[in-house]
Amino acid sequence: MKSRRMKHEGVLHTALSCDDILCNILIRLPPKSITKFVIVSKRWLHLICSSSFRHSYLSRWRVGFNLLGFFVCNSLYLGRPKGGARRPRSEPALPLLSSSREGDDLKFSGVLKKLGYFIDSSDGLLLCGRHPKTYFVWNPITKQQYKLPHPRVHFEELCMAFIVEDSPDDEICYRVVRAKCESRFEEVYVVTIETFLSKISTWCYSKLRCSSTISLSPWTSGTVIGGVIHWYAAQGNIAIYDPYHHEKHIALVKLPGPFDFDEQVLGESSDGCLQYGWSCKAGLQIWVLEKGFDGYSSLFSTNEQSSLSWSLRYKLNFKIMWRKNPTLATKCVTRKETEILAFSPQDSKSVFIRSGSSIYLYHIGSGRMEVIQYQGRGSSILSDFSKVVPYFKRAWPQSTLCCGRNSST
């Protein structure tokens, strides 16, 4: 009996000593369990934190995100023309309203002073800089920044997008897209873009065709869902561009209803669809662009008419919301300024709401509001030109042991 048990333990030890077998076991465990096994040994830590295991695991499981804080973007300075408003020295270029310990570490590390203005973030990586030619990518794992080469083409007005690509290798791959914003008074059927690819460390120039006239909204960042970019466009449209599609085509989709709301946000729903939210003084609505049998692929075919349509998923009256949360209502003195702020990543169950300098997470199912505590409360987000953007990082264990070639990023 004893020899049989020893033989069994020996077989088990041999099996767990093989990385392939161990990966095959760990990949079947749910996200709540997988993060607990990083403390077993350095080998297990290195294995779970590796890019190859992360790539395989995320293709099977959906892992949540942690909120680190909120960046405050002031449109007066980001695309400042000659003679435009200058930022006072007392005002930081990249203010972070930290809501976590990791956010505190980033805020007080001093690194934000070296990056310029906030432009976008993807999977925890930051894209910052100063238009029109100085850009940095900052890696929160290695704590290092990478300065992109200067773009080859000058755009008077532009919008951007930042995509971190899921790679099985240990090298973090990403692309930065700059899109030219043409005058609204000209009939243009082409969008000129310049794309930086980290794999080859260079900018690539191309033109996207559109079946109708198109004008992108300047000084905005695109919402990326599954590698597909969504930009705001003129006349209440959303411009959709898939960098991985063989057709160099950009499609326009009309937003539901009027398009002159006080605040509008885009995001990804729990089922991977594009969701659009708008708010006015009375309340907010959340719509979803339903996918066809081939997803959104029909949008990028110049020979087919897209049959995609929007569906209303949620409607909220702000007066009813405050009535259901009387404790918070008595503390908030600026309820008339209530507006939608942002969606949570890959989430249809909650939405961020801003009222003055207060930020709340509203849970759609229960109607409950949760106060988001952050450092930096005060006048920094009261400006009409300020846009508050949540900063998320995927809730995945990390280790400097796994940086490998990422140290240069």
369-392 confidence digits (pLDDT tens): 999 999 865 545 555 567 899 999
What is the Cβ-side half-sphere exposure of residue 169, based on CA atoms within 13 angstroms? 8
Residue 235 lies in a domain: yes
Of the listed ranges 42-46, 116-120, 312-316, the least confidently predicted one is 42-46
Q: For the chain, give the mean pLDDT.
A: 84
- Sign of the alpha-carbon torsion through 131, 227, 287, 361: negative
Is residue 171 predicted with pLDDT exceeding 80? no
Is residue 333 predicted with pLDDT exceeding 50? yes
Residues 47, 86, single domain; the answer is no
CATH code: domain of residue 335: 2.120.10
Residues contacting residue 231 through CB under 8 Å, at least 6 positions apart: 159, 161, 179, 216, 217, 220, 222, 238, 239, 240, 241
Residues 230, 305, single domain; the answer is yes
Residue 390 lies in a domain: yes
Q: Please give the Cα distance from 133 to 156 (Å, whole number).
A: 11
Q: Tell me, what's the pLDDT at 150?
A: 96
106-157: per-residue pLDDT in tens?
Answer: 999 999 999 999 999 998 999 999 888 899 999 988 888 999 999 999 998 9
Percent of the chain exceeding pLDDT 90 equals 47
Residues 244, 148, single domain; the answer is yes
Residue 6 lies in a domain: no
Residue 245 lies in a domain: yes
Please report which confidence band the pLDDT of residue 283 belongs to, taking 50, 70 and 90 as the band edges: very high
Taking residues 26-40, what's their average pLDDT? 84
Q: Backbone dihedral region of 214: left (phi > 0), alpha (psi from -120 to 50 degrees) or beta?
A: beta
Residues 196, 331, single domain; the answer is yes
Number of structural domains (the chain) is 2
Q: Tell me, what's the pLDDT at 185?
A: 60
Taking residues 36-48, what's their average pLDDT? 84
Are the beta carbons of 302 and 294 closer than 8 angstroms? no
Is residue 301 predicted with pLDDT exceeding 80? no
Residue 409 lies in a domain: no
Residues 39, 136, single domain; the answer is no
In the chain, the amino acid numbered 243 is P
Residues 31, 100, single domain; the answer is no
Residues 18, 166, single domain; the answer is no
Label each residue of 193-253 as H, E or C: EEEEECCCCEEEEEEEECCCCCCECCCCECEEECCEEEEEECCCEEEEECCCCCCCEEEEE
Residue 67 lies in a domain: yes
Residues contacting residue 28 through CB under 8 Å, at least 6 positions apart: none
Is residue 222 predicted with pLDDT exceeding 90? yes
Q: Tell me, what's the pLDDT at 379?
A: 47
Residues 256, 352, single domain; the answer is yes
Residues 27, 99, single domain; the answer is no
Residues 141, 95, single domain; the answer is yes
- State the residue for tokens 């993807």: 122
Q: Tell me, what's the pLDDT at 142?
A: 82
- State the residue for tokens 């023309």: 81
Taking residues 84-94, what's their average pLDDT? 78
232-253: per-residue pLDDT in tens?
Answer: 999 899 999 999 888 889 999 9
Q: Please give the Cα distance from 302 to 298 (Å, whole number).
A: 9
Residue 125 lies in a domain: yes
Domain that holds residue 44: 14-52
Which among 286, 335, 293, 348 has a CA at the least distance from the CA of 315?
A: 286
What is the Cβ-side half-sphere exposure of residue 200, based on CA atoms within 13 angstroms? 6
Residues 134, 25, single domain; the answer is no
Residues 42, 99, single domain; the answer is no
- CA distance readout (Å), 226 to 31, 234, 237, 243, 269: 20, 24, 20, 11, 12
Residue 3 lies in a domain: no
